[in-house]
Structures are given as structure tokens and as C-alpha cells.
Amino acid sequence: MPNFAANLSFLYQDRPFLDRFAAAACDGFRAVEFLFPYEMAAETVAAAARRAGVRIVLFNLPPGDWARGERGLAALVGREKDFDTALARALDYAEILDCPRVHAMAGRVEDGADFATYMANLRRAAAIATERRRALTIEPINTRDIPGYFLNRQDEAHSICRAVGAANLGVQMDLYHCQIVEGDVARKIETFLPGVTHMQIAGVPDRHEPDEGELNYPYLFDLLDRLGYAGWIGCEYRPRGETSAGLGWARGYLGR
């Protein structure tokens, strides 16, 4: 049975962020994820999760100057100190939020992304995260949603993880991004699932609920069950309307 986590940066947009934890719990979610928690004190976010009775399972490192278009620091030449600062802040939050893993966004090519820098930063970050008893993910992202994003393909991401060789570094496999960039999603799952430590879903092409579009998600969920995937699947989509009303696709999974 798939384990779904509500992405609170995408879902429940009709209510304040801290109220989304309880809304997700009411809909049957046992876990949540989100993009960035840093506008609020970690203790405040942790308290909201505790009150709702949900686990926080993933969030991103600070991505750099988001307003200026930066989408991560891990691969950016000359920004190593900024990346280390972002990592330290994320790990501090992860400890307070009792979150097992954080996502290190690579950044965009035009901002100076470089393979050697990426590898060196990931090796250093994985070692530091190990000391803090946390895991890291990297995620291939399509260049339609983030033009110029440095990491786009599943094979690239898994090759990087193997080269880094850290037990706490895994791939965050978003099936929405995978379908847009590569297609052949079922075969990609079969090939790469052993290195996947977190998954995400959305309908393709419009990033709405996973009950419309190009992907047959019931088939893919059954495939993941057959292959024994026991990790979390983040629901990182933009609801067509009110979030709870659009959860018909999850009936039977969330106990609705």
C-alpha cells in the first residue's frame, strides 16, 4: 500500500501554512513534506506537526536567492560557503522537526553549475549529514518547470549517487518530472528503484491531481507495491480546486 505525504507548499492553499498540517491529517495523511520552512521558527512548525499527529518527511535546503531565480546551490561554482551555510541551517531544522532527510537542489546552469563542484559539495554534505544522523536527496527536475536546471535525468542522478558513494545520499524520484523528461516511467522505476529514497507524484502535463493526464497512476502504485517500495510518496501537485474535494483519486489509500 503506498504511503502518501501531503506537500503543504502545494496543497491546502486556501488556509494558512500552519493550519495545513491538521487539514492533511483530517484527510488521512500520516506524513507531510514542503519546500522551505525557514520563514517560521522550527519549533513553531514542529508544534503544528505534533498537534496534527503527522510526520515531516522531507523539505529542501535554502535554495539561494529565489526571487532572483536561483534554484539551489549544490552545483554552483564559487558558492561553496553559501551551500555549507544552507546545509547547516537545513540540518538544524531537520533535527528540531524530526525530519529524516533533506533535498539539496542543484541549481541552474546559467548560475554557474558545474559537475566537479556538485560532486565535491555532495561528498562533503553527505559526510556532515551522516554526523547529524540525516539523509540527503538529489532530484532530477524538468527544464520546463525550472529552465536550465542542472540535473534532469534519472540515470545521471543515480550515477552521481554511486560516484559519491555515501549510504545516506539517495535519489528523489518525481514521476511528474520523469515523464516530462524521459517517459517510459514504469521501466525507469524498475531500473532505478533500489537507489530511490523518496518519490513524488503529479498529473502530467498540467501538474494537477494524479487522476488525469498521461500517467496511469493506479498501475504505477501497484508496480511499486510489487517491487516492495516502502518509502514515502509526496503529493506535490496543484489541485484543480479545493484540496480535500480533489482527493477522490486517493480513496482506498488514505482511508477516505
95 is catalytic: no
User: In this structure, are residues 208 and 237 in contact, taking their beta carbons and an 8 Å threshold?
Assistant: yes
Q: Which of 247, 242, 205, 235 is nearest to 9 (CA)?
A: 235
Q: In angstroms, rounded to a whole number, what is the distance separating the alpha carbons of residues 197 and 171?
A: 6
139 is catalytic: yes
Residue 62 DSSP one-character state: P
Catalytic residue among 33, 70, 209, 236: 236
Position of cell 526571487?
A: 67
Q: In angstroms, rounded to a whole number, what is the distance separating the alpha carbons of residues 39 and 13?
A: 17
| Grid coordinates belonging to 236 | 506535490
Q: In angstroms, rounded to a whole number, what is the distance separating the alpha carbons of residues 224 and 210?
A: 15
Catalytic residue among 33, 70, 139, 209: 139
Alpha helices in the chain (DSSP H): 17-26, 42-52, 80-97, 115-131, 154-164, 175-181, 185-192, 217-227
Active site residues: 139, 236
